[in-house]
Amino acid sequence: MNDKKSAMRSHRVVWHPCTQMKHHEEFPPVLITRGEGVWLYDADGQRYLDTISSWWVNLFGHCNPRINAAIIDQLGRLEHTMLAGLTHEPVVELSERLSTITPGSLSHCFYASDGASANEIALKMSFHYWQQSGFPEKTQFINLQNGYHGETLGALSVTDVPIFRQVYAPLLRPAHPVLTPDWRFAEAGETPEAHALKAAAALESYLTQHHASTAALILEPLVQGAAGMGMYHPVYLQKAREICDTYRIHLITDEIAVGFGRTGTLFACEQAAITPDIMCLAKGLSGGYLPLSVVLTNDTIYRAFYSDQTSQAFLHSHSHSGNALACRAALATLDIIEQDNVIETNRHKTEFLNQCLQSVRTHPNVRHFRNCGMIWAFEVDNPRPDFTNRFAQMGLERQLLIRPMGNSVYIMPPYIINEEEMEFMAQAILNILNEI
């Protein structure tokens, strides 16, 4: 298969996501024909280290034999059935296991296919709960400045990234963003913890006035992904949980990008020892194999919909909710996490990669170098006008799949990356910085 011809065919008929298609006239999409481990291979046999886990989804490498085997086994049994009025063993087992491993008593699982859909469900669920619990005035949502929760209209309403929401503003619900705890915005001399406490105080100040009309606070715990991997101190989560309890507000944690070990614990909430009212999971849930997301909630919220009246049910659905193949992939992913002691192994890999990246950390054009678990990010000073595309292209030339957000460069490699591959990745990034 010819890479150039296929790129031209793709340009004619495929509208690529989050892409200015005209840029592909200069930088055609790379035709990927296979994957193995942390590597993707193009039609010419050139390989690229997947430093961003294919948009943060791939945990254990491409074509992982254990996940492959689980899907193949399930394919011979049942590929899919609707989840209304029917059930199947993979979705039951996955729900039981998720209820066991998530914090607190998140005992009920509602399935969809992607992160934005999960956040839509969470928002609707919170709103509907208050409507059926005697608080019909609770119709508004709070989000963090620079937060991102997806690009469907409900999720976009609680997203505070201008490039995504500006043009659609007339279609969206009113936004109520509060101060971000992201320590990059701390004042001179202010510690990450002090800034997080200041942001928590701003949250409480808002709720003092608006709690009666507020249904929920939705946030990305510890790392704000689309903000360029903005990171914050876990004390904010502790305070947010206390404040939400005080003012009778649901806390929705969007763990879509950070769940399943990304931040150094199985779930980011664990670092603050809190339990949300609603937790959203996706991306790494299926190891990056198949579209799958889930919303977990507690028995209190679940019981508000438990009635003889169909009209009081949570009437939300997706055709592929709880898809059997995706659930088997997720079960295999959980098996690997548990059987291979992944959380502890990742801590050692984090230490090693931080050593490899020391020259990047101290580079004269790098600022705000940061790390949380298996996520690294930094800003590049004085970037070129075409910095994002140029950095990505220079990465491809050095066998890296890397995709900056503005002048923020980040890496989120698959957990199976080895020391040789980490050294290769760190050196290639340093070389790009020296040349760009």
pLDDT digits over 107-146, tens only? 999 999 999 999 999 999 999 999 999 999 999 999 999 9
Question: What is the predicted pLDDT for the residue at 382?
Answer: 77
pLDDT tens figures, 257-295: 999 999 999 999 999 999 999 999 999 999 999 999 999
For the chain, how far is it from start to end, CA to CA, in angstroms? 32
pLDDT tens figures, 168-196: 999 999 989 999 999 999 999 999 999 99
Question: What is the predicted pLDDT for the residue at 239?
Answer: 98
Strand, coil or helix: 189? coil
pLDDT at 319 over 60: yes
Contact 246, 261 (CB under 8 A): no
Question: What is the predicted pLDDT for the residue at 187?
Answer: 97
Structure tokens at 377: 């990010």
Contact 258, 276 (CB under 8 A): no
Confidence label for 24 from pLDDT (cuts 50, 70 and 90): confident
Confidence label for 151 from pLDDT (cuts 50, 70 and 90): very high
Confidence label for 1 from pLDDT (cuts 50, 70 and 90): very low
Give me the mean pLDDT over the 350-372 stretch: 98
Distance CA 200, CA 204 (A): 6
Distance CA 116, CA 110 (A): 14
pLDDT tens figures, 37-92: 999 999 999 999 999 999 999 999 999 999 999 999 999 999 999 999 999 999 99
Contact 66, 335 (CB under 8 A): yes
| Pairing, β 250-254 against β 32-36 | unpaired
